[in-house]
Homo-oligomer: A and B are copies of this chain.
Amino acid sequence: MRDTADRLVITAEHREILGQVLDKWSVLVLEELCECPRRFNELRRLIPVTQKSLTATLRRLERSGIVQRVVVSDRPVAVEYRITPLGKTLRDPVDAILRWTEEHRHDIEQARARFDEDTPG
């Protein structure tokens, strides 16, 4: 959806999708699952997230078709989460953002130091 100036028009729907997919923990979960499938508690060990939030994150990603929940065996229950083909298409753009934060971290720190110094209070 672009206007005559070929400019991106951001709708509420775009924002909604972004909120679901690029939130605090989703990015971390995606990065992990792009490496290989992971179990629930395995993800918990890798990411400093509570059970509740991890469950919510996985459900949202599963609902949107980004990850897949696979029951591997019963007794004891084993569940594995895998990235889907749709989820894989997210990796490059997300990595681009992450690389940006990496490359410009110091610029940002310097800007903040300047701002905090200049700004009274």
Contacts and interface: CB of A to CB of B under 8 A. Distances in A.
Given A22-B22, A24-B19, A104-B86, A98 B14 contact: yes
B102 A1 contact: yes
Nearest to A5: B35
Q: Dominant SS at the A interface?
A: helix
Contact of A98 (B10, B90, B102): B10
25 contacts: A1-B102, A7-B31, A8-B31, A8-B95, A10-B28, A13-B101, A13-B105, A14-B98, A15-B24, A15-B27, A17-B101, A17-B105, A18-B22, A18-B27, A18-B98, A22-B22, A63-B111, A64-B108, A65-B108, A86-B104, A86-B108, A93-B93, A93-B96, A96-B96, A97-B97
Interface of A: 1, 5, 7-8, 10, 13-15, 17-19, 21-22, 24, 27-28, 31, 35, 62-65, 86, 89-90, 92-102, 104-105, 107-108, 110-112, 114-116
